[in-house]
């Protein structure tokens, strides 16, 4: 079964808008675990506009499922954070500091030398590594060359084209996933996956190990409630 890691950034964003602790990010994370989530994802950014660096330390000490921390290793503060916290997984994402949300994967070929060093540093600390890539076999092969344990397929293009032609939308992901399997790379996926497209994605890519979902899941929770929403997403993955 594909695991569900709930990204709680948007919950932290709401909290930060009033400067107090409502909603309680820790309670939301623990509730997601209790409701069936297999892990929690956070993406701290330098301006701490949603998840704060202190949140990451607190979550690591309290969670019983896996903590996945996303971010750009070119920010030294991020590297210092993950090496201190030692989450189960670090997902490397090529965001710039003021970027609204992730919108492309790494060029694992031109960044090979740099990323190889980062991956080795994380692995030496006992942290599983995943790298955010577009559904491109050359980038998948590059991820293998730099020594990453997993790739995370950037699924915005799939989500955008899904309603028009599901088979065409999934095609590059099937090709990328097949190459990853040949190279013994683990496969994660995330970005714009939702109740509308997740079941199809999971059925087509059963080799996927984990999906990370935040924005859509938190939006759905406003209508369906958090417990029911986590259960609905889990059913899509069964």
> Could you state, in order of their start, the residue ranges of all structural domains in the chain?
3-237
Q: 3-state DSSP: the chain helix, strand, coil percent, rounded to 5? A: 45, 15, 35
Q: What DSSP designation does 81 have?
A: H
- pLDDT at 101 (0 to 100): 64
Residue 43 is among the residues annotated as catalytic for this protein: yes
Of the residues 33, 43, 50, 210, only one is catalytic, namely: 43
Q: How many CB atoms lie within 10 A of CB 196?
A: 13
Q: Which of 33, 70, 152, 210 is catalytic?
A: 70
Q: Is 50 an annotated catalytic residue? A: no
Catalytic residue among 33, 50, 152, 191: 191
Give the pLDDT score at 214.
Answer: 97
Per-residue pLDDT of the chain (238 residues; tens, 9 = 90+): 899 999 999 999 999 999 899 999 999 999 999 999 999 999 999 999 999 999 999 999 999 999 999 999 999 999 999 999 999 999 999 977 666 566 678 999 999 999 999 999 999 999 999 999 999 999 999 999 999 999 999 999 999 999 999 999 999 999 999 999 999 999 999 999 999 999 999 999 999 999 999 999 999 999 999 999 999 999 999 8
Strands (E), 57-214: 66-71, 89-92, 128-133, 150-154, 186-190, 210-213
Please name the residues in contact with 15: beta carbons below 8 A apart, sequence gap of 6 or more. Answer: 21, 22, 23, 24, 25
Q: What is the CATH number of domain 3-237?
A: 3.20.20.70
Which pLDDT value is given to residue 73?
96
How far does CA 28 lie from the centroid of its chain?
17
Distances (CA, A) of 32 to 8, 25, 83, 206: 9, 11, 25, 23
The yes-or-no answer on residue 191 being catalytic is yes
pLDDT of amino acid 100: 58
Element (H, E) at 28: helix 25-34
Letter string b/e over residues 95-104, b meaning 16 or more CB atoms within 10 A of that residue's CB: beeeeeebee
Task: Give the pLDDT score at 235.
Answer: 98
Element (H, E) at 146: none
Q: What is the structure's pLDDT at 97?
A: 64
pLDDT (0 to 100) of residue 178: 98
């Amino acid at each position: 079964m594909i695991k569900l890691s709930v990204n709680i950034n948007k919950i932290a964003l709401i909290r930060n808008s009033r400067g107090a602790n409502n909603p309680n990010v820790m309670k939301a994370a623990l509730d997601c675990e209790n409701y069936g989530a297999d892990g929690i994802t956070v993406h701290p950014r330098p301006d701490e506009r949603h998840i704060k660096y202190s949140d990451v330390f607190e979550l690591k000490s309290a969670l019983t499922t896996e903590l996945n921390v996303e971010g750009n290793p070119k920010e030294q503060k991020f590297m210092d954070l993950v090496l201190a916290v030692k989450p189960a997984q670090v997902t490397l994402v090529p965001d710039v500091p003021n970027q609204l949300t992730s919108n492309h994967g790494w060029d694992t070929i031109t960044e090979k030398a740099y990323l190889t060093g980062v991956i080795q540093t994380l692995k030496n600390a006992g942290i599983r590594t995943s790298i955010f890539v577009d559904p491109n076999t050359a980038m998948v092969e590059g991820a293998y060359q730099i020594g990453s344990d997993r790739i995370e397929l950037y699924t915005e293009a799939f989500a955008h084209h899904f309603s028009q032609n599901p088979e065409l939308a999934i095609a590059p992901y099937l090709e990328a996933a097949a190459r990853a399997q040949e190279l013994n790379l683990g496969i994660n996926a995330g970005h714009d996956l939702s109740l509308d497209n997740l079941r199809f994605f999971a059925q087509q890519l059963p080799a996927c190990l984990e999906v990370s979902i935040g924005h859509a899941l938190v939006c759905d929770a406003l209508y369906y409630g958090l417990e029911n929403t986590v259960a609905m997403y889990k059913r899509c993955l069964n």
